[in-house]
Structure 1
């Protein structure tokens, strides 16, 4: 199998009473990922409501994840923030936990003016840690920062910046392909659009990171297995069914709002979301359940399908 691993974008569990961190749920979430073939997780990212957490909370959450996982399970810690001071503090914490990788995104208010400005920002954030694997989180739909990533990689190479790769959450498959091919794939390009994973496989995607791998990883692994064994029609059939589920998720608020409710529906209670994200009300959850019943969600959810 050429494909190496699925990585989840983990949800942050909150207590219903006061929306504080529900750390007791972390080990349950980890065990679920492990038994369903997921090889790692990124915490405090988009799905994990990272920008709704304080720096202190993010360090506490990362420490809890670090304490429960096995050595062969990759913990990627997102440290994106608007303040360089806080990012450097979060980087120090992540490095001390011996995480597999540290992930950085651009600031969301004072945005970098160009690629050179972005690289200057990242360089300051990661200085002093030459042995750590750093990744850049490219998700322009959320950050509003949309520079050509092939040019970004070229400048990283020229400046010898310690960025190992990109968590690429964008629809531009042509650009993604060019990034994969650049310098004989010297950069690790983790694919981040769950609904386009089958389209990324022929381009050479070796790993993928997303929210739906929290509750449907076995069916994705089956799809990948079918693709790599030349059973393209069967892989495409799964791909279409998975996207029907994702369409419902998008209709009800997307991968964080609806995705968290879907986790709760299958017994992996992650609690509510934090404002400004809205938690689905009772009627919306009933409508979500009804729409999901028209898909294969309950057939696909964490069902061991690979023999």
Structure 2
């Protein structure tokens, strides 16, 4: 059974002016997503600035999200770090508080060998009985999950899916060929329809933070056989999608949310406010799709 089908939003982490997490704003966002057909929430991921959150903050975010959503849609907890012991602790906690799945990124900075990568996932797989979505984003981690490695990981009972954000569609096709039992999710908003065309179950989306109903529709129109409508939506918002990655994610998406009045706060260093020239480009694309 798939963790979810459709649009899983990698939700931003809202901050107060003093830099603390804004749980009231998080609740507001979660309710809004449920009302706008978001199919799952991914908390404490890259878009949620997970690498700058303390362990206690991550636990608070995961627990709070589970409680607020209250099983209306699945919650996938971002527990991946470059420290297997820490990832395991967060995974166990997520299981205890009722998360539906785990998002586990490949170890970054220290990286590891092929054997080390396998053991990292196997350790969590063997000790926490929750579905695991492997997260492949080599541009950030310096590590790639090759199709052959995914095949090995697919032998582990809890590795059920992969968020593929390498941008390499040829690799994604090989995933599907070698690992038909692994659910495939697009990790890039400009590739949702191509991923669906090779059997993908949906997307883990940044775009869905601000256009939740649109991303839901892109995926579900495809699922329902309305391929042209799905593609038309993908292409209609393509320029805006590209503008959301004009700087390091989540700088543009949080900026865009603030521009439409969602008031999700600033960023944690080393992330800073968007460059003025890029801000103008972002605003122009938002105007083009009537967001401003």
Provide TM-score, normalisation by structure 1. 0.86
What residue is the counterpart of 1:268 in the other structure?
262
For residue 193 of structure 2, the aligned residue among 177, 194, 198 is: 198
Contact 2:107 2:117 in 1 (8 A): no
1:220 aligns with 2:215: yes
Deviates more, 1:224-233 or 1:24-33: 224-233
Q: Report deviation, 1:26.
A: 1.4
Query: For each residue in 1:180-208, what CA deviation from the matched residue of structure 2 results, as whole angstroms up to 9, or x when unmatched?
Result: 2435x211222211111122221111221
What residue is the counterpart of 1:71 in the other structure?
71
What residue is the counterpart of 2:232 in the other structure?
237
Aligned length: 289
1:180 aligns with 2:173: no
Query: For each residue in 1:206-246, what CA deviation from the matched residue of structure 2 results, as whole angstroms up to 9, or x when unmatched?
Result: 22111111111222333345545665554433222211102
- Counterpart secondary structure, 2:244: helix
Query: For each residue in 1:140-166, what CA deviation from the matched residue of structure 2 results, as whole angstroms up to 9, or x when unmatched?
Result: 111110131x212221245x3531221
Distance 1:110 1:5 in 2: 33
What residue is the counterpart of 1:170 in the other structure?
166
Distance 1:127 1:229 in 2: 36
- Counterpart secondary structure, 1:127: helix
Contact 2:207 2:215 in 1 (8 A): no
- Counterpart secondary structure, 1:255: coil
What residue is the counterpart of 1:305 in the other structure?
none
Distance 1:166 1:226 in 2: 22
- Counterpart mapping for 1:277-288 below 5 A: 277-280=271-274, 283=276, 287-288=280-281
The alpha-carbon distance between structure 1 residues 56 and 225, as it changes in their structure 2 partners (threshold 3 A), is: closer
The alpha-carbon distance between structure 1 residues 290 and 192, as it changes in their structure 2 partners (threshold 3 A), is: closer
Unmatched tracts of structure 1, length 5 or more: 300-307
Distance 1:157 1:236 in 2: 30
- Counterpart secondary structure, 2:203: strand
Contact 1:244 1:295 in 2 (8 A): no
The alpha-carbon distance between structure 1 residues 243 and 254, as it changes in their structure 2 partners (threshold 3 A), is: farther
The alpha-carbon distance between structure 1 residues 202 and 84, as it changes in their structure 2 partners (threshold 3 A), is: closer
The alpha-carbon distance between structure 1 residues 289 and 236, as it changes in their structure 2 partners (threshold 3 A), is: same
Q: Report deviation, 1:247.
A: 2.2
Provide TM-score, normalisation by structure 2. 0.90
The alpha-carbon distance between structure 1 residues 161 and 111, as it changes in their structure 2 partners (threshold 3 A), is: farther
What residue is the counterpart of 2:35 in the other structure?
35
The alpha-carbon distance between structure 1 residues 231 and 165, as it changes in their structure 2 partners (threshold 3 A), is: closer
1:189 aligns with 2:184: yes
The alpha-carbon distance between structure 1 residues 113 and 215, as it changes in their structure 2 partners (threshold 3 A), is: same
What residue is the counterpart of 2:127 in the other structure?
128
The alpha-carbon distance between structure 1 residues 166 and 234, as it changes in their structure 2 partners (threshold 3 A), is: closer
Contact 1:212 1:255 in 2 (8 A): no
For the aligned residue pairs, the C-alpha RMSD in angstroms reads 2.3
Query: For each residue in 1:70-95, what CA deviation from the matched residue of structure 2 results, as whole angstroms up to 9, or x when unmatched?
Result: 31311100111222232222112111
Instruction: Return the index of the structure with the highest Cα Rg.
Output: 1
